[in-house]
Amino acid sequence: MSQAIHLRNHPFRFLLFLEWGLVAIALFSQIAPSHGHGHGSPALLGLVSTLMFGLMGIRLPAHPWAKIAYTALEFGLILLTPSMSFHRMRLFPLLYLVVIIRSCLMFSIQGRLIVSGLAYGLFAALLHLRLGQLDLPLRGQERIRGLLGTASLTIMVLFALVMLFVLLMVNALLAERHSREQLVLANQRLRDYALQVEDLAMTQERNRIARDIHDSLGHSLTALNIQLEGAMKLWQRDPPQAQQFLQQAKRLGSTSLQDVRQSVAAIRRDPLAQQSLEEAIAALLKTTQQTVGIHPTFQMQLDAPIPAPVQTVLYRIAQEALTNVWKHAQATAIALDLRSTSTNVTLQIRDNGQGFDPDYNQTGFGLQGMRERSLALDGTFVITSAPQQGCCITVQIPYGLPGQGASSKA
């Protein structure tokens, strides 16, 4: 499998122009006239091999073994250049630079270094071979050999520097291009993550509003329904008591209407805005007593202040737990215990009602909402219950940042 390289899709167009320029110079050195040297079959062979070498740059292979064969063929074509005279190789070292440029586009850094080493070794070997084939006059032969040795060393050093420059330049270009591609991918991932975060935030906000509606409106409507049922039962035989039930129902109806308006606008009134957590829970317990006639017990021991977000969650959980007791438990006793330490706070709500099997009764929105509120603050939510054995809900919330690991048990 090969990857075609054209002007429109070459990763570095100027490198392609540079290749063509170097190949053109090598071709010119082949066809340029030189005194005392003919243009027989060796020159024609060099011209053809150089043309083939240049055309190979149009397509670079992608398969690993094809890359190796491609590079070997490049070296083979360079070796086919005329070797009959020294002047015919004076510009052919430029083709080694083309080999290095192409290797940078095909191989990793290790492969590039290997190809560069082979190119330099082949250049040095051919240079030494050409110098050894020169017919030197006997007179001053040693002096000429010394000068040629110095010249060859200088040429080798200069060519090594040129090869190093080309290798570093192309590597820098590739690294910069790779960085740009990674930056584009990173930006795309950031955009995707931003969309995901936006969707998640919208989902979480919808769930929050749904929990608030369920907790506040459900609590108020449940109490309202109980008050109306009591008024209907006492309407004939105890009108004053029925009147009290209706007044309480009217108050709960007004509260429910206010909650609906605020929930629809997604702006929930903070239940603890004008009162402490202790006062808010005491108000819940008073409503419970007025609604179902149960006098709950409340114990609180706070050894450390509770953060405001944690207080709101505890209030909502207590509110929903008491609502569930009204609706389902048929309990005659309710106990609420709130304790805090320097690292966490624990809320426990117990009743002696009919209980349930936690493994089969956790799909309701009330239990799910309490669980989600606990986990949102890295807390634990534990339900202990059994049929005819009452129910105990225990919530423990640390004073740490959310996202450090939460668990839920039942």
- Region 300-319 average pLDDT: 88
Query: What mean pLDDT do residues 37-43 have?
Result: 52
Q: Which two tokens stand for residue 235?
A: 């309407």
Report the sign of the C-alpha dihedral through residues 266, 271, 277, 280, in that order: negative
Q: Which residue has the higher pLDDT, 249 or 258?
A: 249
More confident residue, 10 or 118: 118
- pLDDT band for 402, please (50, 70, 90 cuts): very low
295 burial level (CB within 10 Å; 0-12, 13-18, 19+): exposed
CA 172 – CA 372 distance, rounded (Å): 52
Give the three-class secondary structure for 339: strand
Q: Does position 236 have pLDDT exceeding 80, yes or no?
A: no
Distance CA 70, CA 61 (A): 7
More confident position, 120 or 58: 120
C-alpha count within 13 angstroms, C-beta hemisphere, residue 16: 16
| C-alpha 129, offset from chain centre | 58
Most confident of 11-20, 60-69, 89-98: 60-69
Q: What is the pLDDT of residue 2?
A: 46
CB atoms within 10 A of CB 112: 20
pLDDT of residue 259 exceeding 80: no
What is the predicted pLDDT for the residue at 194? 67
pLDDT in the model for residue 90: 55
The confidence score (pLDDT) of residue 334 equals 92
Which letter does DSSP use for residue 90 in this model? S
What is residue 216's predicted lDDT score, i.e. its pLDDT? 62
Is residue 395 scored above 90 in pLDDT? yes
According to the model, what pLDDT value does residue 165 have? 92
CA dihedral 122, 124, 128, 130 (to 10 degrees): 60
Q: What is the pLDDT of residue 262?
A: 57
Q: What's the average model confidence in pLDDT over 40-46? A: 62
Give residue 319's pLDDT.
Answer: 87
pLDDT reading at 289 higher than 60: yes
**Can you give the residue ranges of every domain in the chain?**
2-135, 294-410
Q: What's the pLDDT tens digit per position in 344-374?
A: 999 999 999 888 888 776 555 678 888 888 8
Q: 60-64, 111-115, 261-265: lowest mean pLDDT where?
A: 261-265
Class of domain 294-410 as given by CATH? alpha beta
| Weakest mean pLDDT among 137-141, 179-183, 243-247, 265-269 | 265-269
Tens-place pLDDT, residues 191-229: 777 667 766 766 776 776 676 666 666 666 777 777 787
Q: What's the whole-number average pLDDT of the chain? A: 78
- The predicted pLDDT at position 83 comes to 47
